[in-house]
Chains A and B, each alone.
Chain A
Amino acid sequence: MTVVCALSDLLPDRGAAALLPSGEQVALFRTGAGEVFALSNIDPFSRAAVLSRGIVGDLDGVPVVASPMHKQHFDLRTGTCVEDRAVSVRVYRVRVEAGQVVVAA
């Protein structure tokens, strides 16, 4: 369990990257609806650590982030790539406790 930041540090419909003690990077997203998600920050297609900088939105009602590199979409709940279901990114368990964002890692 790692406390990464305050919920107020996350802007609605935008992501932020956080560095875990293990050296892994997570991309945290706070949607406009108030939910918080955490995925690996590494875009599996380009391998650059950039997913946190993508645009957050929804496709067919599914909350997604679009990779800023080549625009593939990832389901924020499952990490699955919408365009290529064989590809997915790691999902981290995350919750908000007393205004703090806590990632299970």
Chain B
Amino acid sequence: MQKTLVVVGNGMVGHRLVAAVRERDRAGEWRVVVFGEEARPAYDRVALTSYVDDWDAGRLALAEHDRDVEVRLGDPVVSIDRAACTVTSASGAVLGYDALVLATGSYPFVPPVPGHDLPGCHVYRTIDDLDGIRDYASRIRRGRRAALVVGGGLLGLEAAKALRDLGLSPHVVELAPWLMPLQVDAGGGALLRRLITDLDVTVHAGTGTKAIERDGERLVAKLGNGTELDVDLVVFAAGVRPRDSLAAAAGLALGERGGVVVDSACRTDDPHVWAVGECACVGGRVHGLVAPGYAMAEVVADRLLGGTATFAEADTATKLKLLGVDVASFGDAHARAEGALEVVLNDAVSGSYKKLVLSDDASTLLGGVLVGDASAYAALRPLVGRPVPVDPVGLLAGAEPAGTLPADAQVCSCHAVTRAAVDGAIAEGCADVPALKACTKAGTGCGSCVPMLKRLLGEAGVVQSKALCEHFTQSRVELFEIVRTTGVRTFSDLVARHGTGRGCDVCKPAVASMLASTGGGHVLDGEQAALQDTNDHFLANLQRNGTYSVVPRIPGGEITPHRLMVIAQVAQDYGLYTKITGGQRIDLFGARVEDLPAIWRRLVDAGFESGHAYGKALRTVKSCVGSTWCRYGVQDSVRMAIELELRYRGLRSPHKIKAGVSGCARECAEARGKDFGVIATEHGWNLYVAGNGGFTPRHAQLLVSDVDSATLVRLIDRFLMFYVRTADRLQRTSAWLESLDGGLDHLREVIVDDTLGVCADLEAAMARHVESYSDEWRGVLDDPDKLARFTSFVNAPGAPDPTVTFREERGQRVPVLLGVPEVVG
């Protein structure tokens, strides 16, 4: 008979437990029922703060279980009857269990200061908490808006980031003398304070919050050191406490500082009841991180299916990017071991603090702290408890210790993946990070081990070649730099000097694109013509029967009736199938190659120009109708879309670029599905970058908010040029951003804060593009040599291709299909 497993709590660890049971339980031994207090599906609480980026709860959702798992959302368990082996839920359901797993997590600790329960006081744990904070913040009237965060640990700094992103000025109050006292030492804390203060967060360390009082619409917070802060809202982030009251009421033992006491199998003293995650007290400790919780989930899943796994020691290493500041700590970060030695590299100029803790004889790495630059984290963390491979200072300065990483060292602590497992997967053919993720799960949690995965791939000699193709060992990025800096202007020159052979259909169009985006004149000039893919070669898109499509540019989707008539007339005269595209313009299909010039002559004469539907270039800037007509519009989205489309038209890039502009947050232009998307606000524009439709849809992410038009254009200039220069061939902006080390924060540093000092150059390059733009089709019509290429046959230039025939469908001409492949033996 099937046994029933009841899981109380649908948080991160409860979710993981169920996934682990389902994975192991091939025979269907267990019926699984989950009770969740929160009304929404399980989500990634670790990433909670990123909810503020787009308020899209769906993006945080964890993978859904198969349909056999019964999940009862919004129905908490209110009591357990251990004698009868049943649970009772708030809705009154009573359910029997063979095994009961408590995964109730923690609740936020709110210090009992007077006024802690006034309206405007919040906690920071769930999506609902964030929705509440947002609602409250949106009701604050205009003026300077400030918030107080009680607690300067990990959680408090996360909350400060969220508040800052909401447009409030955060104050953080921390009782300890420095921020993140659990993870970093005094030296790291000092630097952290400086870096955080630079980001407009005011830090009050070494003092507590004595009282909160209401003052009209606002709150006044009184600190222990006498400071009085005038704020709009307060967030308590002063730690968490295990949610153990359900267990206590059922008579289960609790730890000294709370938590359901379990043994190393995560079982309570009732053999049918287990506890995992933040609510469990194992080995006398409760754990406030997700990795130990996941390890407990795996242990219980194993036990429920007859295994003998035990919970070993927990890895409390953490790496975070708080407000864009790297913070990492691992092992014995506070040098608590007897006689421990510390090696510190404190670089006030570059803003980095790095400390290693070594055993008394300096032979073994015990732990460390990294602030400001945590790039060494992935390499150092797995070495904890192991011999120090090289001179410790070298290690801090970035020497590569991976070669000495032992087989049983944990590379990924989120999923407990050892080096041996990664090496094994590589040996079985995983040739890149995505493959390793799919096969070992390493890198799919917090992501901080990804640099190590890359390094292990490199060491195994299978690192994906960056070579563009067999003719160039360089990557696209490297070739672009060569083209840009050496002034090589032809493919033959480039391949002779920097490559081998004669080129192919991969490198030729790629180089053609680089020549074009570094100011190469017309794409069909001289030798360049031979490099182009057929679409670029005929400035039209090849169709399945060998004919082409014609797409004139219709900026922002705005078109006069007169121009519509011109298109209609041309389509009629040449028998072209006509369709409104998904990009707010009109596509004319079925044009014979030899008719393209005459068709375009008519279009160009009527004021149309190439829409670059054929090129890896800007396609369209979609727009909604905006404030001119729409009763909700707050800015003129059509004008902005047209301005942007005209600015970036013709820009050759690694892949196509699409954009959108919406006149208000209703987002009718779907701007967030685009490579760059602009959404009007009452104060200006929000700029989102790196969205995608297509194979892997992704929402664009907020880069800056409320900027004026000039700033907006400047930032898009930089964004696009940086993309053009540094992306791989055929890499859309979304994939490019995902591959950038440091992701969106890094991008923001480079193109908003100009940390690399390249922005002036990027803007100048875009200015040159705008300056030198001319319509490619007009360029062809004006040049007899180029026109001469638009023939069907070299010996019969006007003769139509006899294989092309049409039939009629819904009143228009469509191609007659050419049948099955012809194979000539």
Enumerate chain A interface residues (CB-CB to B < 8 A). Answer: 4-5, 9-14, 16-19, 23, 25, 28, 31-33, 40, 42, 44-50, 53-61, 63-64, 66, 68-69, 71, 73, 79, 86-90
Contacts and interface: CB of A to CB of B under 8 A. Distances in A.
A71 B505 contact: yes
B531 to A, nearest CB: 7
Given A49-B546, A87-B821, 8 more contacts: A40-B824, A47-B822, A49-B801, A55-B509, A56-B530, A58-B501, A66-B504, A69-B542
Contacts, number: 121
A9 B538 contact: no
A48 B802 contact: no
B508 A87 contact: no
B504 A68 contact: no
Nearest to A66: B505
B749 interface: no
Contacts of B819: 47
A12 B820 CA distance: 33
B86 to A, nearest CB: 62
Contacts of A87: 821, 823-824
Contacts of A64: 504
A25 B820 CA distance: 19
Nearest to B526: A11
A50 B794 contact: no
A47 B503 CA distance: 26
B498 interface: no
Contacts of B823: 44, 86-87
Nearest to B504: A57
Nearest to A49: B803
Given A19-B799, A32-B502, A50-B546, A42 B822 contact: yes
Contacts of A57: 471, 501-505, 507-508
B470 A60 contact: yes
B544 A46 contact: yes
B530 A14 contact: yes
A5 B821 contact: no
A90 B824 contact: yes
Nearest to A10: B794
Q: Which 3 A-B pairs have the closest CB atoms?
A: A68-B534, A47-B818, A66-B505
Contacts of A16: 793-794
B545 A59 contact: no
A59 B794 contact: no
Contacts of B793: 16-19, 25
B796 interface: yes
Interface string B464-501: 00000011000000000000000000001000000001
A19 B504 contact: no
5 contacts: A13-B530, A44-B824, A60-B470, A64-B504, A66-B505
A53 B538 contact: yes
Interface string B131-147: 00000000000000000
A18 B801 CA distance: 10
B231 to A, nearest CB: 61
Contacts of B534: 50, 53-54, 68
B492 A32 contact: yes
B821 A68 contact: no
A89 B825 CA distance: 9
A99 to B, nearest CB: 14
A17 B502 CA distance: 22
Nearest to A80: B824
Contacts of B503: 13, 57-58
Interface string B795-807: 1100101111000
